[in-house]
Structure 1
Amino acid sequence: MTSHNPSQAGAPHGTEAIDLDRLYAPPAESILKGVLPELTDFHADYLRAATFFCLATGSSGGLDASPRGGPPGFVQVLDARTVAFADWPGNNRLASLRNLEEDARVALLFLFPGLEVFLRINGRARLSRAPELLARLAESGKTPKLGVVVDIDETLFHCGKAVNRARLWAAESQLDRAALPSIGRMKAAVMGLDEGQVAQVDAHYTHAVRHDLY
């Protein structure tokens, strides 16, 4: 009888079933012990410095990953098992918020410019319009329409090897804007705009993305 391995379950039709436990070494004890059900003082220190994270959500309609940013501490620690952040204007697709109406599960991946470490928080989120929370999450004199409150299931620090493989923080890794199609050129192609409108769209985008933050 062939033993059942969970890592082989659910493989897409026509793909090879791979025994991950045989392919990879087990995680070190320190890694396992570093996965915690709540925030420690160390996590709180990093959150007070955090300015950017990616938010992963999902629903029956699919998955979404959304960038979130703000001044240091824009993700508020409410207690050891709860954090919150504001929802500020974006492209108004509202993909993350609509997903949360169906499936509360979330994953947050924090990047820290210049550092070789990630912070990860997995949990369940809910939307809130509580006035006291929105006042706490205000930025630049603006109050958000919604706050997102995350009840933590687990939190951990993740090694920064990916940062070094990408040379993410190296000055020479910064891209030349002219080396890739601009936002204006891509929008013009999708929307059937005239070539002469590319520069106008680019100028509008550059101003909006830098100044129309709230």
Structure 2
Amino acid sequence: MLQTQTPNPQAELDGLYAPPSERIQSAVLEHLVDFHRQYLRQARFFCLATAGPAGLDASPRGGPPGFVRVLDDRTLAFADWPGNNRIESMRNLQHDERVAMLFLFPGLEVFLRINGHARVSVAAELLQELREGEKTPKAATVVRIDEVLFHCGKAVNRARLWEPAAQPQRCGLPSVGQMLAGFAALQTGPAATHGESASIDELDAHYVQAVRSDLYG
């Protein structure tokens, strides 16, 4: 059986890993500097981690370069745009304000990490500042930064993430339409999905339309 607890796990970790170098430690800050601002102006995508009564959640966020707005050296804001309407991140923030943000930069071998505390805002002035084209968000998340740091890109290279050859073969994976039909069968039983395969192409087409074109509701 796998042992999940030891008398002193912290001591074991300290024995396994060398401490981070002084150079790395000195780059962990409590506020943004120009290096961070330059990367945030180019940022198109990050993962947002939150915690709530039901547990932890991580979800993607994306937009045009600069969609995460720097309000000051300790504060960021970003709009909430339509997704699956579970709005787990915002619901979690009602119970626990802690957040973590992990920014990925396609083609680059570096990550940007931000940890802090956040709240949901519906302030009209902020929502106007975060609008994209003629679309104004219903809500925004405002993050107060506790810690900001750059993280090395070794994980990118281990995964060969940016190499075209690393892209999964779609023909070897179920389509969204196939999965939706399968999930429906789990809920209602196989009999309810008799003839459902005929609509899989429609489900796939609807998904492609939604994720590529219906971006702002």
State whether TM-score is above 0.5: yes
1:15 aligns with 2:17: no
Aligned-pair distance for 1:140? 2.7
**1:185 equivalent among 160, 178, 187:** 178
1:1-214 to 2 correspondences below 5 Å: 14-17=3-6, 18=9, 19-192=12-185, 193=193, 194-214=196-216
Aligned-pair distance for 1:121? 0.4
1:95-115 per-residue CA deviation (whole Å, 9 max, x = no partner) reads: 111100100000000000000
1:39-94 per-residue CA deviation (whole Å, 9 max, x = no partner) reads: 00000000000000000000121110010000000000000000000000000011
Unaligned runs of 5+ in 2: 186-192
The code of the aligned residue for 2:182 comes to A
Unaligned runs of 5+ in 1: 1-12
SS of equivalent to 1:85: strand
User: CA separation in 2, counterparts of 1:121 and 1:69?
Assistant: 16
Which residue number in structure 1 is paired with residue 190 of structure 2? none
User: CA separation in 1, counterparts of 2:115 and 2:171?
Assistant: 38
**How many corresponding residue pairs?**
202
Give the RMSD, CA atoms, in angstroms: 1.1
Aligned-pair distance for 1:16? 4.4
Identity %: 63
Aligned-pair distance for 1:178? 1.5
1:180-201 per-residue CA deviation (whole Å, 9 max, x = no partner) reads: 0011001101113411111110
SS of equivalent to 2:168: coil
User: CA separation in 2, counterparts of 1:40 and 1:107?
Assistant: 18
User: CA separation in 2, counterparts of 1:84 and 1:172?
Assistant: 35
